[in-house]
A and B are shown apart, each in its own frame.
Chain A
């Protein structure tokens, strides 16, 4: 009964959230359709399962204000990472940060397939953070900033990479922006960014992006 409820809830959530997604029936384990499902399909489904239900609330709950990060970075990169970052347990992994803030668009590039907009969050007319808008969203920040997504749970790097792509696709799909020039408009954001050094530009994959009043 409980399971049926969950399934119905999941399905209705899925229908609400995933307008562009096709609903596929659960294949019989070991059946041909299970075998013929591609990595892309399976990871897209997995991303659909976790994005709205887990990832968006996770970011909302854990995100720190941008100045908290920039302040902490003054005290050293690793110290900032230890205090506020998430990173996989592999040696040499970069730090990932969950961030939130509000800023005015200084510059937007909507021509590129890897569209971005740069925000000034401090009022000095300088860009402090760049929001990735997609459709091409670079990197794996969203996947790697989530401590509940662990590489060991995935078959191999291919699957794990495709999960990152699928999560980025979800993030892009959720971006709703007004047409035309964004310069001067104000937005509130939440999202994830990967930093390899303290001086890396902060490039956020948004899980929330909304016009601020």
Chain B
């Protein structure tokens, strides 16, 4: 059913969706738009949002923008044409997304943003994001501790257009730079990508064979870096990630990557749907538009409790 609908939307677009009769569910349709599900983080968001929406009686349509603002705008137009009740969005760029969310608002469709902010307030109804600054500081404190407060390290940065790349780096350095014996020998972007991180790590290793640690802006890059380090026989290098993925959890349990920072992505997506539901029923979410959710440090002590971007009690 879901696959069929997704195909229909992409194949026939606006005309077809306009012609389609209303959906069977009582509460209407909610669009869930995220980056590619290749990254399990975004998949967890989509799964979390979809599950909560169904529990609350909504039908869902799940779409991916692949971090392409043009594609995102097309998806918004599709969703608007389809007459969705609300849009749950992990967006494709802090600046570029403003127009898409504004277009939905103009069409009377409220947007509820998760994970990434846009650079304006008053357009989306909610922006629920992980407290990346707090989380990055947690990760950096653990990294410094693991490094014994000294040594050469590299930093892998996320995609530049993404606010979260900047804020995590800034949180890392607010801690690490307080330690004069921590020396950053390389700082490069790998655009959140595992394969890019592998290549970048290989290059960094060649130039800095005496490197002791790598702090990464997300888990997929940490996985790429770890694979390159393993291939080079450098499993002594301390790697710390960010996100709290199952892949990194498994690596931590196997003694590979040392730590990561959990963003409560699953809960965040569910919360966005709950706020959408409340807004649709009462005209208000009852909370501020922009909300910061705290992150949690994951290391060998609690990795066991981590599953799909949520920590068991």
Contacts and interface: CB of A to CB of B under 8 A. Distances in A.
Contacts of A113: 178
A157 B117 contact: yes
B166 interface: yes
Interface string A131-155: 0000010101000000000111111
A154 B292 CA distance: 12
Contacts of A91: 267, 271, 291, 293
Given A157-B129, A158-B163, A151 B170 contact: no
B29 to A, nearest CB: 25
B111 interface: no
B133 A161 contact: yes
Nearest to B171: A161
Contact of B290 (A136, A151, A158, A165): A151
A157 B132 contact: yes
Interface in B114-128: 117, 119, 121, 128
A139 to B, nearest CB: 8
Main secondary structure of the interface of B (DSSP, over half): mixed
A36 B121 CA distance: 22
B183 interface: no
Contacts of A126: none
Given A155-B119, A158-B163, A90 B133 contact: no
A90 B170 contact: no
A91 to B, nearest CB: 6
Given A156-B163, A161-B133, 5 more contacts: A114-B178, A151-B290, A157-B292, A160-B133, A161-B170
24 contacts: A88-B291, A88-B292, A89-B291, A90-B293, A91-B271, A91-B293, A92-B293, A92-B294, A114-B178, A138-B137, A140-B134, A151-B290, A151-B291, A154-B290, A156-B119, A156-B163, A157-B129, A157-B292, A158-B133, A158-B163, A161-B167, A161-B171, A162-B170, A165-B174
Interface of B: 94, 117, 119, 121, 128-129, 131-134, 137, 163-164, 166-167, 170-171, 174, 178, 264, 267, 271, 287-294
Q: Which 9 A-B pairs have the closest CB atoms?
A: A90-B291, A161-B133, A89-B287, A152-B290, A151-B290, A152-B289, A157-B167, A89-B288, A156-B117
